[in-house]
Structure 1
Amino acid sequence: MTPRPTPSSSPPSSSPPSATRRAEVSRRRLLALGAGAATAGIAWNAIGSAPSAAAQPPPANYDVHFFYYPWYGTPEVSGGWRHWQQGGFEPPEAIGADFYPALGPYDAGDPAVVDQHMAWVRRAGVGVVATTWWGQGGFEDRQVPVLLDAAAAHGVRVAWHLEPYGGRTAASTVADIRYIDATYGAHPAFHRDAGHGDRPVFYVFNSLSIADWSPLSAVAQDAIVLTQTTDISKATHFGGLYNYTNFGDMTGWQGIADWCRANGRIWAPSISPSYLDDRAVPGNTTPELPHNDGETYDQQWSGALAPENGGLPDWVSITSFNEWHEGSMVEPVSSAPPAGHGYKTFEGAYGTTGAASETAYLDRTALWAARFAAARAEGRR
């Protein structure tokens, strides 16, 4: 997987001469895309059928969660490039990703950008974004107010993806959970899961790097804390499990689902449309998970809901909305990226071409989120 730099290891870089021009292009692109996306809904009749625009976005499924990354910055908003330069690239034309955003390299602290993101999240029928978080007062923490306000405007809620910042311990994680709840818990977009005691949700990335998580007992009644593992023996002190990266192997998922049901835990399997981090990590040996024109995503969704893999999970977590370094994003990808850099596109996804391909994975997510909701509702009858 792509290394996850701490905020201090990803400093702003100087702006290349073309940054202002690219920022202007990005802003125009945002306005053009946003004109129809903010209220666009997608109605699907069956797998493989073409979407049609509706007057309103689809209902938000709060049992489907996107992993969301607010760590991107630009010179115009953040005083320098953040993350886009990973892998030694020089934005704005060359970025550390194998795909190029439809918005261009953006700043995730720009209210207009984040508003567009939340409109797209709703277009996908997703109700929750789990935002990456690297510690109290860090860059990602400072992005939270803009994210919460934009999420609230679109009926989206915000959960938390706690990352392995330097010095993280089980005790500091307890303190972080209390800090986040105290600082942001009164906001209307702060996610509290209605089906599980109205408790906030915290995913803990790379949790196996800490052996003793017994301090979590201090917040067990107040928060749902998920460990990133498929080993139930490591989940004793947690409220549930997720896997984050999925290359298609669902071995053992039925056992996890059964254990969670028997022990009052949450099972939130993670699925992905793809994985490719060649540009972000030159010379890496991580296997690629190809899109296969959407077949990969359909297989992962279908597998996550299949009876032989444990049946309907509590939640489905999607990797990711916008982890561009790892090529797992469903955020719209430019169908006409800067030439000469070898960028890939979503061309051909579910039979789409050109500009229509840019939102192919958003719209497919809406189909599956609706199917998941319908199956859950049928099961409750």
Structure 2
Amino acid sequence: MSPTRSGRGPTRRALLTAAAAAGAAAALGTTARAATPRATAETSTDVHIFYYPWYGSPKANGSYRHWPQGNLTPPDGISSNFYPVLGAYDSGDSAVVAQHMAWLRQAGTGVLVTSWWGRGSYEDQRVPLLLDRAAGQGLKVAFHIEPYTGRTAASVAADVRYLTGAYGGHAAYFRDAAHGDRGAFYVFQSLDIADWSPIEQLKSDAIVLTQTTDVSKAAHFGGMYTYDGIAAARLPDWSGVDRFCRANGLVWSPSFGPGYLDDRAVPGNTTPTVERADGTTYDAVWQHAITSGDGGAAPEWVSITSFNEWHEGSQIEPATGTPPTSPVTYQTYEGAYGRTGAAATTAYLDRTRYWVERYTAARRGA
């Protein structure tokens, strides 16, 4: 959601301009009524998580990519207020992607929604590796169609056909059995385009989701989502969106995350920060999402912002507890959910599984 979209185009500035972790904590105290977790290695394909394959390093890409944003010099200086356990890694490094998939399985998130910037883009070139490594962990891959240069409703329709044709036969390509074995395509900043009628003909093969809570803007789409973790921290009333989607055969996938902090990636910006509050914020937004549907029902899907958007501080990917101390200082997950030391690095992965199990129980009990 950073104003520069990590250097790739239009803004990811929040739709709302304030968030309060303290308010989220209060809401958690009044709404928590979770079921007993199940000891399981299962993942849920109703839980989607936004994934970014846009990073580069000399090891695989030949140079650093995305990490230097904000005029920083990797590997010690990166455009994040946290530092990855894997360092300033490369999204084309097979070992890195394999580790990501293992962590996603640990978290219980069954579908990763990969950022995609058009045919032939850096992110498109990484799809085959991503699919192969996802298949190795029994995970599925959906697509987040970003606002690449020249994007139109017609080009998005063509993109969906291209992605389905190129990758639809892969074992890791996500198809939702509950919705006609259709794939999922989230469209970021969809409101930039007024007329989406060209995607109408895709409905039998794909679920194309628009990024909005304005139901009047959902014509021709197969679903709705929010992406915005800042707005989600305010625990908004999503019941009307859920009601509309259920009544009209659309899929509702509310989005939320553990926090938001993009000051290092975008120096001088005025985007609000959402404090993690040692995990209290994440607990609150998860609990809210589970009970946010019409009549307190769980939505059909939920979407987590994010696995590894390090620029915006919304990641659940493990962050090291011993980051470089210069040229900048970094935050850590120390203290999250009462964890310290090495145990803290995976605090958000493990807490995600905790909530995935509760969400799954709520869906099964619906």
Return the TM-score normalized by structure 1: 0.86
SS at structure 1 position matched to 2:224: strand
Q: Which amino acid aligns with 2:333?
A: F
How far does residue 308 in structure 1 lie from its aligned partner after superposition? 6.8
Counterpart residue number, 2:87: 104
Residue 330 of structure 2 corresponds to residue 343 of structure 1: yes
How far does residue 128 in structure 1 lie from its aligned partner after superposition? 0.4
Q: Which amino acid aligns with 1:328?
A: S
Contact kept in structure 2, 1:6 and 1:134, CA below 8 Å: no
Q: Give the 3 Å change call, closer, same or farther, for CA 71–308 of structure 1 in structure 2.
A: closer
Counterpart residue number, 2:126: 143
Contact kept in structure 2, 1:58 and 1:124, CA below 8 Å: no
- Provide the C-alpha distance between the structure 2 equivalents of 1:374 and 1:305, rounded to a whole number of angstroms: 10
How far does residue 5 in structure 1 lie from its aligned partner after superposition? 4.8
Deviation string for 1:277-330 (max 9, x for gaps)? 000000010000000000000000000012576520010100000000000000
Deviation string for 1:218-245 (max 9, x for gaps)? 2111100000011111111111111001
- Provide the C-alpha distance between the structure 2 equivalents of 1:335 and 1:327, rounded to a whole number of angstroms: 15
Counterpart residue number, 1:293: 278
Aligned counterpart in structure 2 of residue 318 of structure 1, from 287, 295, 304: 304
Structure 1 gap segments, 5+ residues each: 10-45
Q: Which amino acid aligns with 1:343?
A: Y
Counterpart residue number, 1:133: 116
SS at structure 2 position matched to 1:299: helix
How far does residue 251 in structure 1 lie from its aligned partner after superposition? 2.9
Structure 2 gap segments, 5+ residues each: 11-32
Q: Which amino acid aligns with 1:260?
A: C
Q: Which amino acid aligns with 2:193?
A: I
Deviation string for 1:107-126 (max 9, x for gaps)? 01111000000000000011
Contact kept in structure 2, 1:304 and 1:311, CA below 8 Å: no
Structure with the larger RCO, 1 or 2 (CA within 8 Å, 6+ apart): 2
How far does residue 76 in structure 1 lie from its aligned partner after superposition? 1.6
Residue 333 of structure 2 corresponds to residue 332 of structure 1: no
Aligned counterpart in structure 2 of residue 369 of structure 1, from 339, 356, 361: 356
Residue 339 of structure 2 corresponds to residue 352 of structure 1: yes
Residue 199 of structure 2 corresponds to residue 197 of structure 1: no
- Aligned Cα root-mean-square deviation (Å): 2.0
SS at structure 1 position matched to 2:75: coil
Return the TM-score normalized by structure 2: 0.89
Contact kept in structure 2, 1:70 and 1:131, CA below 8 Å: yes
Q: Give the 3 Å change call, closer, same or farther, for CA 307–168 of structure 1 in structure 2.
A: closer
SS at structure 2 position matched to 1:339: coil
- Provide the C-alpha distance between the structure 2 equivalents of 1:261 and 1:76, rounded to a whole number of angstroms: 47
Contact kept in structure 2, 1:242 and 1:270, CA below 8 Å: yes
Structure 1 runs of 4+ with >4 Å offset:
5-9, 307-310
Residue 291 of structure 2 corresponds to residue 306 of structure 1: yes
How far does residue 249 in structure 1 lie from its aligned partner after superposition? 2.6
Contact kept in structure 1, 2:242 and 2:293, CA below 8 Å: no
% of aligned pairs identical? 57
